[in-house]
A and B are shown apart, each in its own frame.
Chain A
Amino acid sequence: MCAKKVDAVVIGAGWAGSILAKELTEAGLSVVMLERGDERATAVEGDYPSSIDELRGAIRHRLFQNLSQSTVTIRNTLDQEALPYRRLAAFLPGEGVGGAGLHWSGVHFRVAPDDLALRTNVVARYGKGFIPEGMNLQDYGVTYEELEPFFDKAEKVFGTSGEPYTINGKVVGKGNRFAPDRSDAFPLPAMGEVYSASLFRTAAASVGYHPYALPAANASAQYTNPYGVQMGPCNFCGYCSGYDCYMYSKASPNVNILPALRQDSKFTLITKAHVLKVNLDADKKKATGVTYLDLRTKKQVELDADLVIISAFQFHNVHLMLLSGIGQPYDPKQNTGTVGRNFVYQTITTSRAWLSPKQYTNLFVGAGGAGVAIDDFNSMNFDHGPLGFVGGSPVWVNQAGVKPIAAAVGGPGGKAPTWGEGYKDAMMDTYRHSLTIDAHGSNMAYRDVYLDLDPTYTNAYGQALLRMTFNWKDNDIRMNQYVVGKIEPVIKAMGATRYSLGMLKDGEVFDTRRYQTTHLGGGAIMGSDPKTSCVNKYLQSWDVSNVFVIGASAFPQGMGYNPTGMVAALAYWAAYHIRTTYLKNPGPMVQA
């Protein structure tokens, strides 16, 4: 082992890590960013047309985590033995520079302000007794007004396309009327609407809902961001999710931040560096740096640092904290401890409507972040009182481009034959003339849903795997069923020839074999009470003050919105306070 010293070490080269590394080098710090995967260059990964080879891409997991080296174990309930997740399906963590930020779709939301103080709001509106037994409903400890400048900054860095509703309190556009006020417009106008999305817009409005253009980090035009980096415009090729964008039009750390960051001589990126643990001093109050495994030489390297930023994928953050002994592991029996607490996901179900043969939806066309949505049943935008559940779902047509293999594997849907001419006709009918509508909803936190270290299974480096204990709960199932019921009138208003509603079933258990979303959250949540949160409102560890944990791991609940916009805003928010407060006087920024 050879110890080197830098000002800050950043773990993970995705959005959170790249934002922190950029901000900290701007502040004059020497920064080493460690990434366990390979370099990812658009020139290579986006080399057209091999970049859109679906078999090589999403099907064979080109940009995803290599589960043969490290994975998680999963079980539904406390009394089960968890088994390793050996085949990517339900969620798709990334690997390599850019992380999941390279292969994401690009839906780029802010946050529903009510979600930031969900416990307070639910109690205020419906009383404490409204919260079901076993639900760890919590506030973030930060307000939308505090975060707004950082949402704005992130959108400008990402080149986000969208239509505002209000700016500085004035109605300026036909955007989401439930969206919080903005200090500025989106940097780019909303993406164009494909046929399915425009149909949804008309139909949703006709039944009294409030449709809006999804905010997308797919550039609707060529764009130069505040770092001087340039993007091309999206051409709706449909290869966003699971792919590197060959048009340089889907925001990624690789395209939007790293070109500028790499020019800074204070910045060093080390790939194939798998961080084994954050090193702590004797009384576990200070981090001294990290130990990583150089995957090329198979040697352990110790890197000393004054500041450690844990900014890998959500559950990797939690895993690393548990492996390093930062904070107290969560105990589901006593509901004590914080690391692994409030592990959350999202609910998502998909409904399908078939149109007449004269109406072409051409599902191969699309853009990952584009579409039309309604927020009428998201967050606290509707009265939960008579409904008896917490949470909600945006609903949308987000035609992201269905690739041919995925379409074939998904099948024609409905009651189509499974082989022969009838099957082929149904496949063509579905691919050309159908559309899908998602209810992409929240998932609350529960006492017996959490993350800890697996007692049995280890990764390729001999460390205990992270164990997920996760199941669907009645509250979220009923929420999903309610919202999906609200889709039916839209489908009818579209004039669909037939349709099928997708919803969670009563008592349904979490199935790891079906892709849902990659929007895992929590486990190292933020909050104002060190007894129930891992990090304070600045994402600083309550226990080890020179460790900051950035990512969706900070979410106390799974929100209805896609998480990346919130992750980016939290990253800029934390970085701002590190720069303006922490670096001047290192130590806890909030007294426990």
Chain B
Amino acid sequence: MTYGSFTRAAFFGAAILLTGSVSDLHAEDMSALVKQGKYVAEASDCSACHTVRGRGEFAGGMEFKLPIGSIYSSNITPDATHGIGAYSEAEFSRAVREGVRRDGASLYPAMPFPSYARMSDADIHALYVYFMKGVQPVAQAAPANGIPWPLSIRLPMTIWRAVFSPSVSAAQKDVNRSLPNDGIARGAYLVEGPGHCGACHSPRGLALEEKSLSNSSGTLFLSGGAAIDGFVPTSLRQDQRSGLAGWSEDDIVQFLATGRNRRGEAFGGMTDAIFHGTQHLTDADLHAMAQYLLSLQPHNPALSAWAYDPAAASALQAGDVSAQGAKVYVDHCAACHRSDGRGYAPAFPPLAGNPVLMSDDPASLVHVVQSGAILPGMTKAPTAFAMPAYGNMLSSQQIADVVTFIRKAWGNNAAPVSVATVEALKKTAPEPVLNQGVIPLN
């Protein structure tokens, strides 16, 4: 079990398993509130963990394998027995923002309540109304968590919560800090709060706590996280090479709306975050998020700016494949990503200057080569694109060569990758894309 898969479980396994009741909601407000709450649910990406194909929307059941046993996301439909139908709004708020179940037990911090603590009372209210009135109850229990006693005792979670999760009042105070303008303030709220971007994109400490929950506490926030399901979340700050330096506001908006832009394409867990979440947000909110992200100072200001270097392309175009990995690249990659590394965005992403492949940890790049990647169709970009898996076709030596080539060519200038690293990453590689169960149909 790797740190990566544990953190995935920590993010995504929620466990709200209690009951309660709804009252005092006015019918005339309902429809607008339900609509608003649905939007908040999308901004909060609830579906990504609580909706599993074939089980009904928000009926839970997503499995997260931990070394100590599996946990499952819970049924958060308004079913009184198996869902959260018996929760009062106060109980609902306490679960979402403080990580406390109706019976007082602590949730696994897979539920991103340290971020949700920042959510406004109005959003929590709308979200509650939506889950009570806008979601179909599903009378089906999520599978029982499979963690054996005594590890199933949740006391350590309570301690964790007390140490690492902010109080709602502290969180709200930080939300209301002074920011340059309304757009950035709205963006900060969405990114740091419901969007819980830091759950993946911020580094975590030894207890798997996010080291920083807000940009107000410094540049660690969103400076890049550890691998999740084998993919490394990049810095979302203005870091050169491995962050968003050079991305325009429109680039970010397009990426969050469609999963693709002129600079790259989403893969791994980010496709879920966009598919279930950000693609549903308004342009105004996406622009606000982009403005906020563009305001984040680099965590590592020492990194030099990426600049295109034509040498690799010139060599390939002259038929010179003497560079390590160049021949593998020409045979297997160049048709889509081109000898000049610029790709054919947004269909096929550029590799030149792509922040995903210049991180110190080469896991994302190696795993995409080994297992392929699928970008699903989105409402505003219905086309899905699939990159084939090369794990069964290329040897680890060939993969090491080609990723070394890609990381070095066109000005990328990242460190070589050894065969040993590729071999190690083979063990943590995701399933090849065609074995992942969900194949786009176009």
Interfacial residues, chain A to chain B (CB-CB below 8 A)? 39, 41-44, 46-49, 97, 221-222, 227-233, 235, 237, 246-248, 254-255, 258-260, 262-263
Contacts and interface: CB of A to CB of B under 8 A. Distances in A.
A228 B388 contact: no
A254 B381 CA distance: 15
Interface of B: 335-336, 344-348, 374, 377, 379-386, 388, 393, 433-434, 439-442
A254 B393 contact: no
A348 B303 CA distance: 63
Nearest to A48: B388
18 contacts: A42-B440, A43-B374, A43-B440, A44-B434, A47-B386, A49-B393, A222-B347, A222-B348, A228-B380, A229-B381, A231-B347, A232-B336, A232-B347, A232-B385, A233-B347, A235-B336, A248-B385, A263-B379
B344 A222 contact: yes
A47 B388 contact: yes
A158 to B, nearest CB: 14
Contacts of B336: 232, 235, 247
Nearest to A223: B347
Nearest to A40: B441
Contacts of A246: 388
B279 to A, nearest CB: 12
Given A222-B344, A229-B383, A259 B377 contact: yes
B384 A228 contact: no
A258 B345 CA distance: 21
A232 to B, nearest CB: 4
Given A41-B441, A49-B388, A231-B347, 14 more contacts: A41-B439, A47-B388, A227-B382, A228-B382, A229-B381, A229-B383, A230-B347, A230-B385, A232-B336, A232-B344, A235-B335, A248-B383, A258-B441, A262-B382
A44 B393 CA distance: 16
A41 B440 contact: yes
A247 B335 contact: yes
A227 B344 CA distance: 19
Nearest to A221: B344
Given A230-B346, A237-B335, A263 B442 contact: no
Contacts of A230: 346-347, 381, 383, 385
Nearest to A235: B335
A366 B374 CA distance: 28
A42 to B, nearest CB: 6
B393 A43 contact: no
Contacts of A97: 441
Contacts, number: 82
A43 B439 contact: yes
Contacts of B374: 43
A231 B383 CA distance: 8
A47 B434 contact: yes
Nearest to A225: B383
B348 A232 contact: yes
A263 to B, nearest CB: 6
Contacts of A247: 335-336
Contacts of A260: 382
Contacts of A44: 434, 439
Q: In the complex, which of the residues A43, A97, A228, A237 has the most CB atoms of chain B within 10 Å of its own CB atom?
A: A43
Nearest to A51: B388
B382 A263 contact: yes
Nearest to A50: B388
A41 B335 contact: no
A43 B383 contact: no
Contact of B345 (A49, A222, A228, A263): A222
A255 B344 CA distance: 17
B381 A228 contact: yes
B391 to A, nearest CB: 13
B267 to A, nearest CB: 14
Contacts of A248: 347, 383, 385
Contacts of A48: 388
A460 to B, nearest CB: 27
A213 B377 CA distance: 33
Contacts of A263: 377, 379, 382
B442 A255 contact: yes
A251 B380 CA distance: 20
B442 A258 contact: yes
Q: Which 8 A-B pairs have the closest CB atoms?
A: A43-B386, A259-B382, A232-B347, A259-B442, A230-B383, A222-B344, A229-B383, A222-B347
A235 B442 CA distance: 20
B298 to A, nearest CB: 31
A278 to B, nearest CB: 27
B323 to A, nearest CB: 22
A151 B179 CA distance: 54
A229 B381 CA distance: 6
Contacts of B441: 39, 41, 97, 254, 258-259, 262
Contacts of B388: 47-49, 246
Contacts of B384: 43, 259
B379 to A, nearest CB: 7
A36 to B, nearest CB: 17
Nearest to A260: B382
A371 B348 CA distance: 25
Contacts of A46: 386
B330 to A, nearest CB: 12
Contacts of A262: 382, 441-442
B442 A41 contact: yes
A229 B383 CA distance: 5
Contacts of B386: 42-43, 46-47
A238 to B, nearest CB: 12
Contacts of B434: 43-44, 47
Nearest to A227: B382
B437 to A, nearest CB: 12
A255 B439 contact: no
A569 B386 CA distance: 30
B317 to A, nearest CB: 14
Contacts of A233: 344, 347
Q: In the complex, which of the residues B381, B383, B388 has the most CB atoms of chain A within 10 Å of its own CB atom?
A: B383
Contacts of B335: 235, 237, 247
Q: In the complex, which of the residues B346, B385, B441 has the most CB atoms of chain A within 10 Å of its own CB atom?
A: B441
A43 B433 contact: yes
B167 to A, nearest CB: 43
Contacts of B439: 41, 43-44
Contact of A222 (B346, B377, B379, B382): B346
B374 to A, nearest CB: 7
Nearest to A232: B347
Contacts of B344: 221-222, 232-233
A263 B378 CA distance: 9
Contacts of B385: 230, 232, 248
Contacts of B345: 222
A263 B347 CA distance: 20
Contacts of B393: 49
B254 to A, nearest CB: 12
Contacts of A235: 335-336
Given A229-B383, A260-B382, A254 B348 contact: no
Contacts of B442: 41-42, 229, 254-255, 258-259, 262
Nearest to B348: A232
A169 B309 CA distance: 46
Contacts of B348: 222, 232
A237 B434 CA distance: 23
Nearest to A43: B386
Q: In the complex, which of the residues B336, B439, B440, B442 has the most CB atoms of chain A within 10 Å of its own CB atom?
A: B442
Q: In the complex, which of the residues B347, B380, B385, B386 has the most CB atoms of chain A within 10 Å of its own CB atom?
A: B347
A246 B388 CA distance: 10
A56 B348 CA distance: 26
Nearest to A258: B442
Contacts of A39: 441
Contacts of A237: 335
A464 to B, nearest CB: 34
A135 to B, nearest CB: 44
